[in-house]
């Protein structure tokens, strides 16, 4: 049967035009309109390596157990921990993340998400400076200059350029690509850079210096000559860049981890946001993060709404605290500051530095995921996951923080659970029963 | 050789990761790779494999080499993956996010075996369990 307008649950693009032809009898699926990553994810519905049975590790050996036994052991681990840590990954809906946050609060643990190892510094920069933002639709209809700064959009959000950024024909950009100037700032010659009209190949870790120089030029001053050697970009090119922006009607800047994850971190974002504010004295200009992990923006929205902080939540004192560098995932694990972990819908083991990963493998870990990966290998309890937007409904937040409600085209393969939200509610009930016994 | 490490997406890394294929040879071939420019490759003696070593020399990971014009001298790239994160600087500068871009590393020729993702987890992180 053919299903249309399915939301893709892979990156923050939340493409809503995917067409799926699912043949349940023969176990085949045909996917139209999705990118390479999206297409691969949709095939997980019928894949042979899908995790379908809960497992536990007992005396070093992994064995299949019933759903109830796995939940019991998971609840035991969490209840017996002094400082449990919840990594509520982004490849699931806000509804599941909400239950996870409530369990963390109930147990006095800590909660974090992909946001912290993705655009956490971007969010911190926004807290410092505020953000001139716009929806992706605004950029599509209005932007005649697109800047990808520290992001390889063609490979991290493959359809961004065709759906929102560069190629689509908008109301005031009727000729699509021909009505837009595209610029990339990246130390590497990426496919995105190769497709750009202008590529600023700056030296690594010099984003702050380059942004400062652009800011200086925008204010009508001459930057110090040493900035050429530091950034690798001639001042004449910097001046040309500022003029191009000022002469445009609407500039849309998309930042990636190249800005927020290199030296300078949130200060890079802070100065970029201030530059954008200043640029609005000359033309319309906005900035947004290209958020790679599915519902990573959703966790920020949800945690801010529920507890006042966007990530790195610490409930150990009975009320929410937030101190990046202390209450955030990589730091907690590196400093051996938690004694059990619940990892949901993200391969955390794969994404964190060795010091943190080694400790994560040492402590009791529960992992909820759909396919074998380093996190499931190191886990003591594995709970099979339901695939959001394919097997259950829910809400994602798109890269521009627009909520997107999604509906499934097939059912959960498990009789024991309808969704990851359902699984977490079952786990929460067991946790409460044990804690209050 | 000292270098600055850049990590990031490649389309096939994304395809394989999202398709649940992290324990396949294709994933290892795509991600356990160190990209560098021809000049650096030549100065290292044109090795088939290199060891990328963290700044504190605590961790090392063996990778195959790829020569590309996308890189400049003194810079190397590893697709974002468990291999890259072995040598990524773990300090977060009080932001929570490690230095996925611009970590200082050492790169040396090696004959070490390139581990699969599963071998890397079990041998390096789980102590051989």
- A397: β partners: A403
Contact B18 A266 (CB under 8 A): no
Contacts of A260 in chain B (CB under 8 A): 97
* CB neighbour burial string for A330-367, b if at least 16 within 10 angstroms, e if fewer: bbbbbeebbbbbbbbbbbbbbbbbbbbbbbbbebbbbb
Report residue A388: phi and psi, to 5°: -65, 150
- Helix residue spans in A108-206 (DSSP H): 114-117, 120-129, 136-142, 153-156, 160, 191-194
Contact B126 A258 (CB under 8 A): no
Q: Is residue A421 within 8 Å of residue A412, measured between CB atoms?
A: no
Contact A350 B22 (CB under 8 A): yes
- Best B21, B56, B97 member to test A by mutation, with max A CBs in 10 Å, is B97
Contact A324 B87 (CB under 8 A): no
User: What are the structure tokens assigned to B48, written together?
Assistant: 């088939």
pLDDT at position A402, please?
Answer: 96
Which residue intervals of chain A bear CATH 3.40.50.740?
A: 52-116+296-436
- pLDDT, average across residues A118-129: 95
pLDDT at position A337, please?
Answer: 97
Contact B11 A292 (CB under 8 A): no
Contact A371 B20 (CB under 8 A): yes
Contact B99 A262 (CB under 8 A): yes
Contact B20 A373 (CB under 8 A): yes
Smallest CA–CA distance from A258 into chain B, residue:
B101
pLDDT at position B129, please?
Answer: 60
Contacts of B97 in chain A (CB under 8 A): 116-118, 120-121, 260-261, 265, 328, 330
The count of C-alpha atoms lying within 13 angstroms of the C-alpha of B58, restricted to the half-sphere facing its C-beta, is: 11
Percent of chain A with pLDDT over 90: 98
Q: How far apart are CA A172 and CA A142, in angstroms?
A: 5
Taking CA atoms, B36 is separated from A361, B26, B28, B72, in Å, by 32, 20, 18, 7
Contacts of B101 in chain A (CB under 8 A): 150, 204-205, 257-258, 261-262
Nearest residue, CB atoms, A378 vs list B72, B77, B125: B125
Superfamily of domain A120-289: Dimethylsulfoxide Reductase, domain 2 (3.40.228.10)
Q: How far apart are CA A59 and CA A63, in angstroms?
A: 10
CA distance B45 to chain A (A): 23
- pLDDT, average across residues A306-315: 97
Contact B14 A152 (CB under 8 A): no
First to last CA, chain A: 49
Answer yes or no: is pLDDT of A216 > 80. Answer: yes
Nearest residue, CB atoms, A351 vs list B14, B75, B85: B85
pLDDT at position B8, please?
Answer: 95
- pLDDT, average across residues A245-265: 96
Nearest residue, CB atoms, B96 vs list A39, A311, A347: A311
pLDDT at position A396, please?
Answer: 96
- pLDDT, average across residues A396-405: 96
Contacts of A118 in chain B (CB under 8 A): 97
CA distance A330 to chain B (A): 6
The CA-based angle A348-A351-A354, given to 5 degrees, is: 100
pTM of the model: 0.96
- pLDDT, average across residues B84-98: 95
CA distance A282 to chain B (A): 32
pLDDT at position A221, please?
Answer: 97
- Per-residue confidence at B128, pLDDT binned at 50, 70, 90? low
CB atoms within 10 A of CB A171: 9
Smallest CA–CA distance from B103 into chain A, residue:
A262
Contacts of B93 in chain A (CB under 8 A): 265, 325
pLDDT digits (tens, 9 = 90+) for A275-294: 999 999 999 999 999 998 89
The CA-based angle B108-B110-B113, given to 5 degrees, is: 135
- B76: β partners: B5
What is the DSSP code string of A255-324? E-HHHHSSTTTHHHHHHHHHHHHHHTTTSEEEEEE---STTHHHHHHHHHHHHS-SS-EE-TTSS-EE-T
Contacts of B120 in chain A (CB under 8 A): 374
Nearest residue, CB atoms, B19 vs list A44, A112, A262: A44
pLDDT digits (tens, 9 = 90+) for A380-397: 999 999 999 999 999 999
Percent of chain A with pLDDT over 70: 100
- pLDDT, average across residues A203-213: 97
Chain position carrying tokens 């324990």: B23
Contact B96 A328 (CB under 8 A): yes
- B108: β partners: B51
CATH class held by domain A52-116+296-436? alpha beta
What is the DSSP code string of A128-148? HH------HHHHHHH-SEEEE
- pLDDT, average across residues A24-51: 95
Contact A350 B82 (CB under 8 A): yes
Answer yes or no: is pLDDT of B127 > 90. Answer: no
pLDDT digits (tens, 9 = 90+) for B17-28: 999 999 999 999
Smallest CA–CA distance from A328 into chain B, residue:
B96
Percent of chain B with pLDDT over 70: 98
Long-range CB contact pairs, A244-248, < 8 A, 24+: A244/A145, A244/A181, A244/A183, A244/A198, A245/A145, A245/A147, A245/A279, A245/A282, A245/A283, A245/A285, A246/A218, A246/A279, A246/A282, A246/A283, A247/A283, A248/A144, A248/A145, A248/A181, A248/A283
Contact A44 B97 (CB under 8 A): no
What is the DSSP code string of A354-409? HHHHHHHHHS-EEEEESS--HHHHH-SEEEEPP-BTTTB-EEEE-TTS-EEEE--S
User: Complex ipTM, two decimals?
Assistant: 0.96
pLDDT at position B99, please?
Answer: 93
- pLDDT, average across residues A346-373: 97
Contacts of B71 in chain A (CB under 8 A): 188-189
Q: How far apart are CA A343 and CA A91, in angstroms?
A: 11
Which residue intervals of chain A bear CATH 3.40.228.10?
A: 120-289
- Which domains, and CATH codes, for chain B? 2-125 (2.40.40.20)
pLDDT digits (tens, 9 = 90+) for A137-190: 999 999 999 999 999 999 999 999 999 999 999 999 999 999 999 999 999 999
CA distance A139 to chain B (A): 24
């Amino acid at each position: 049967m053919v299903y249309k307008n399915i939301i893709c649950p892979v990156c923050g693009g939340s493409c809503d035009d995917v067409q799926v032809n699912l043949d349940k009898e023969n176990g085949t699926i045909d996917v139209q309109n999705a990118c390479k990553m999206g297409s691969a994810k949709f095939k997980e519905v019928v894949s042979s390596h899908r995790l379908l049975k809960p497992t536990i590790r007992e005396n070093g050996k992994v064995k299949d157990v019933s759903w109830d036994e796995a939940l019991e052991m998971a609840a035991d681990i969490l209840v017996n921990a002094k400082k449990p840590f919840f990594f509520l990954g982004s490849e699931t809906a806000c509804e599941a993340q909400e239950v996870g946050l409530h369990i963390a609060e109930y147990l006095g643990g800590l909660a974090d998400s992909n946001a912290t190892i993705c655009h956490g510094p971007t969010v911190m920069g926004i807290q410092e400076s505020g953000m001139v933002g716009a929806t992706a639709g605004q950029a599509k209809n209005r932007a005649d200059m697109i800047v990808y700064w520290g992001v390889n959009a063609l490979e991290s959000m493959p359809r961004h350029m065709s759906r929102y950024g560069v190629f689509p024909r908008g109301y005031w950009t009727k000729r699509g690509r021909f009505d837009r100037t595209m610029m990339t700032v990246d130390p590497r010659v990426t496919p995105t850079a190769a497709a750009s009209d202008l590529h600023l190949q700056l030296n690594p870790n010099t984003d702050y210096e380059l942004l400062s120089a652009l800011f200086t030029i925008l204010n009508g001053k001459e930057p110090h000559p040493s900035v050429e050697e530091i950034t690798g970009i001639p001042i004449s090119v910097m001046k040309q860049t500022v003029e191009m922006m000022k002469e445009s009607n609407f500039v849309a800047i998309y930042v990636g981890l190249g800005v927020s994850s290199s030296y300078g971190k949130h200060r890079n974002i802070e100065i970029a946001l201030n530059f954008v504010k200043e640029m609005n004295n000359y033309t319309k200009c906005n900035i947004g993060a290209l958020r790679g992990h599915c519902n990573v923006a959703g966790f920020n929205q949800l945690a801010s709404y529920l507890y006042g902080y966007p990530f790195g939540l610490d409930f150990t004192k009975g009320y929410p605290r937030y101190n990046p560098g202390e209450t955030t995932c990589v730091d907690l694990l590196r400093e051996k500051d938690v004694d059990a972990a619940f990892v949901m819908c993200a391969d955390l083991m794969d994404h964190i530095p060795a010091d943190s990963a080694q400790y994560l493998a040492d402590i009791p870990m529960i992992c909820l995921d759909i396919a074998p990966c380093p996190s499931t290998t190191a886990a003591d309890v594995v709970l099979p996951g339901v695939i959001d937007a394919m097997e259950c409904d829910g809400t994602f937040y798109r890269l521009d923080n627009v909520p997107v409600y999604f509906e499934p085209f097939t059912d959960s393969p498990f009789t024991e659970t309808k969704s990851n939200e359902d699984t977490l509610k079952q786990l929460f009930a067991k946790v409460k029963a044990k804690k209050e016994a | 050789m000292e270098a600055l490490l850049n990590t990031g997406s490649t389309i096939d890394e994304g395809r394989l990761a999202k398709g649940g294929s992290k324990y396949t040879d294709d994933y290892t071939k795509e991600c356990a790779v160190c990209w560098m420019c021809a000049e650096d490759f030549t100065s290292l003696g044109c090795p088939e494999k290199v060891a990328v070593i963290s700044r504190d020399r605590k961790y090392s990971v063996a990778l195959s080499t790829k020569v590309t014009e996308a890189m400049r001298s003194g810079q190397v790239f590893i697709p974002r993956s468990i291999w890259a994160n072995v040598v990524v600087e773990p300090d977060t500068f009080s932001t929570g996010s490690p230095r996925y871009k611009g970590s200082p590393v050492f790169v040396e020729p090696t004959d070490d075996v390139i581990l699969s993702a599963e071998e890397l987890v079990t041998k390096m992180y789980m102590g051989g369990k």
